[in-house]
């Protein structure tokens, strides 16, 4: 199942780069948990856990309009059992400021019965790998 889950995640990031933020709707479970606390940002939107697809959509609809030219580049992607961990380089430009912002972040996906039931984030590659039982 891991290979199929890896391809699902890869296709989600490809869709994101095309501007299709609704692509995940088909693969997100109705009870999905979206934990953005691992972004470690001083922002109340990133200090929460969101529950359900509507909450995930609300998060993206509130956050995405602040940026332009947003791109993600998969640095590596690994399937480990029912989990897929991805290390990304993300770049974007502030819509109002015009300032470019770049950073690296890991997304940790948990699948059950072909659906994503949890997404979480890590700012450190080491922590992301440890979360799925891997080493650098």
Instruction: Give the per-residue pLDDT at 1.
Output: 55
Question: What's the pLDDT tens digit per position in 38-89?
Answer: 776 666 666 688 999 999 888 888 888 889 999 999 999 999 999 999 999 9
> What three-state secondary structure class fits 129?
helix
For 44, residues 6+ apart whose C-beta sits below 8 A from its C-beta are none
Q: Where along the chain do its domains lie?
A: 2-131
Residue 134: HSE in the Cβ half-sphere, 13 Å Cα cutoff: 16
Question: What's the pLDDT tens digit per position in 10-21?
Answer: 999 999 899 887
What whole-number distance in Å separates Cα of residue 15 and Cα of residue 6? Answer: 14
CATH class of 2-131: alpha beta
Helix (H) or strand (E) holding 58: helix 53-63
Give me 52's structure tokens. 């359900």
pTM of the model: 0.89
């Amino acid at each position: 199942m891991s290979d199929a889950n890896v391809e699902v995640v890869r296709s989600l990031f490809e869709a994101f780069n095309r501007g299709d933020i609704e692509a995940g709707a088909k693969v997100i479970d109705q009870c999905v948990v979206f934990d953005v606390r691992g972004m470690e940002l001083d922002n109340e939107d990133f200090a929460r856990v969101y529950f359900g697809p509507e909450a995930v959509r609300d998060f993206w609809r509130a956050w995405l309009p602040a940026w332009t030219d947003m791109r993600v580049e998969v640095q590596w992607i690994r399937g480990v059992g029912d989990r897929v961990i991805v290390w990304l380089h993300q770049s974007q430009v502030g819509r109002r400021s015009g300032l470019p912002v770049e950073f690296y972040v890991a997304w940790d996906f948990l699948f059950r019965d072909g659906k994503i039931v949890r997404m979480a984030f890590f700012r450190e590659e080491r922590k992301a790998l440890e979360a799925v039982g891997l080493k650098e």
